[in-house]
Chain A
Amino acid sequence: MTAPYKPLSKSATIDADEAYRFAQTAEHWWDANGPFRPLHKLNPARLDFIRTAIMRHKKTDGASLRPFKDLNMVDLGCGGGLICEPLSRLGGNLTGLDVSDETVSIAREHAKAMGLPIQYRQATAEQLAEEDNQFDVVLALEVIEHVADPALFLAAARRLVKDDGLLIFSTLNRTAKSFALGIMAAEYVLGWVPRGTHDWKKFVTPIEFTQALESAGFYVGKISGLSYDVLGDCWHLSHDTSVNYIGAATPV
């Protein structure tokens, strides 16, 4: 946590302040009781959606423990690898992208300890798209609310996904409820996530997201809500998109 964060001036999608904030907490990505605990708790529900969406799209075997064998996937804004690692276990060829050096090295170290062959790179979506790389599955989870230029980011995502591929996106809705739960409760009252993690004004509603995706050349399929069950202390998929939501889109 000593190396200073160097903003990449070339890219339009990095928000320097945002990236700096994440770099500060990078070492805690895998700490079960650390600042990223809520994201870990959110993971099963997100993975349920991702798994079903990909299996439906690619018609892979439901009972298999490695249904994503030979699928090339990229996670844009991979953080510590919370999504890359499970998808790699399920057989996917994973590339994880993050703008923070710190985060990428933490993710790399953890994947090595777990014996998972994931490629982590410190780069932006646009940089990867420049290289003419294309993937079967592109993931943009909890990242749109952190980028400086969402339209540019989604255009890059479109270039990264193969014509028969799939984009999976998730974010926080901009509603009174998400303000109360996502900012006030999670950051201030419960202390789930570090203060300043989110800027509510940058949250995107499902309609805005759908419009932005359509402009970028996607057809938006299913969108599910993610709901928190207080008694069970777990998240599950629901119809309520008022706080968190996750969806799948295919190139037009």
Chain B
Amino acid sequence: MAMDGSSSETAPDLRVDVAIVGGGMAGLTAACGLAQYGLEIAVIDTEAPQDLTAQTFDGRCSAIAYASVQMLKSLKIWPPLEDTAQPIKEIRVSDGESRHFLHFDFAQIGDQPLGEMVENRHLRQALFFRASQLSNLHLLAPARVETVTRDQARAHLVLKDGRTVSAALAIGADGRNSRMRQQAAIQTPRWRYNQVGIVATVAHELPHCAIAHERFLPDGPFAILPLTGNRSSLVWTARASSEKAIMGLSPRAFEAEVQRRMGDFLGKATICGPRWSYPLGLHMAERYIDTRLALIGDAAHGIHPIAGQGLNMGLRDIAALIEVLVEAARRGEDIGSPFVLERYQRWRRTDNVVLALVTDTLNRLFSNDIAPIRHARDLGLSVVNRLPVLKRFFMSHARGTVGKLPRLLEGHPL
């Protein structure tokens, strides 16, 4: 990054410890966490909060793993979600038409649920609410970042409306096509799966009993995830080529297609609200850090939603980054220095590459209908089911309690 003497000469409108570009779920979680421990934070987002939390903005739901819930509790983000979150007490995995069930029951690893289903817009509302309680968190939205200059001493941001922000560290939380990442010329290998995720909410006659179902159909996984009441969130992975046809179906025809895939164990299903379609891909930034810059969330990586780990992986990065930065600040270290940022990258990147490869392999293995592979899969599921040790390992993964955990994920304050 070029040294720009002029921008540092005049006093900035806002001088903070950390400037976060992007006020989505990742950016706001990081902001709330860092502000809770006393750092001065600015968050800049192009959208106004009321637009981000509107019913039409994001129809997705997220499976928040047990460890991530602990983190949201430590950061005091969780309370408003208490009433709207649906615990997942069991996960049943089945392979297409086959009757082999892989059955994960939380009672086998303790008395806590495996995770909680949360509607993204509720999570965003909870984040904005927490942000509003923190006087050292400055939310600049809607606002657009015009230029970012990062030098050895500071990161300088100039907004389109002329305001300037100076920070010891800039965090790029600006999504999968992150401009912050591109500006730092960080290579990001990516590929598209020839799949889209179609998301809708259904109401059904019978209770789901807090069980999540994942069925491996030939087109890709089909997930039925419990929401509060007799409702479930569906993630229908379809071939990209059939996206247009599915999105163009009449409400009745769409409902019939969904019912056919769900089966009738929940009784008659009625679609509520609109349907959304998201392209599925994998990308992984080759570095998470640059001069006075750290990447989080989709700016750093995105993986296949097959194991429901995307958001959890992002939260884990954020918990690690908060821990690294707060520890550094308490020692008086320069939180934007390469020595501090290297600790974050070192801690998280290897872990994420492994998870990306695992989900990629799972998806390739399960998204086909070739007979030998299917039999091997059936066998695999049966074996896993009968070996308690293996099952506990998979469940611990689902709960996000494997590996060197950031303290926040263990439910400890910093």
Enumerate chain A interface residues (CB-CB to B < 8 A).
30, 32, 40-41, 43-44, 47-48, 51, 63-65, 85-90, 113-114, 233-234
Contact = CB atoms under 8 A, between A and B. Distances in A.
B331 A32 contact: no
Contacts, number: 46
A113 B330 contact: no
A114 B331 contact: no
A53 to B, nearest CB: 13
11 contacts: A32-B337, A32-B338, A44-B328, A47-B331, A47-B332, A51-B331, A65-B329, A89-B329, A89-B332, A89-B333, A113-B152
Contacts of B38: 63-65
B153 interface: yes
Question: Which of A30, A40, A65, A87 has the most chain B CB atoms closer than 10 A to its own CB?
Answer: A65
Contact of A85 (B328, B332, B339): B332
A47 B337 contact: no
Nearest to A33: B338
A51 B329 CA distance: 12
B111 to A, nearest CB: 32
Given A65-B38, A113-B152, A114-B153, A41 B339 contact: yes
3 A-B pairs with the lowest CB-CB distances in the bound complex, closest first: A86-B332, A47-B331, A89-B332
A41 B346 CA distance: 14
B153 A47 contact: no
A65 B330 contact: yes
A44 B329 contact: no
A75 B5 CA distance: 30
B384 interface: no
A51 B330 contact: yes
B334 A32 contact: no
Interface in B313-369: 327-334, 337-339, 343, 346
B339 A90 contact: no
B39 interface: yes
Contacts of A30: 152
Contacts of A114: 153, 334
A236 to B, nearest CB: 12
A48 B39 CA distance: 19
Contacts of B334: 85-86, 89, 114
A234 B337 CA distance: 16
Contacts of B330: 51, 65
B332 A90 contact: yes
Contact of A88 (B153, B327, B328, B332): B332
Interface string B240-272: 000000000000000000000000000000000
A225 B288 CA distance: 33
A95 B153 CA distance: 21
Contacts of B153: 113-114
A216 to B, nearest CB: 28
Contacts of A113: 152-153
Contacts of A48: 331
A127 B339 CA distance: 34
A85 B338 CA distance: 15
Contacts of B337: 32
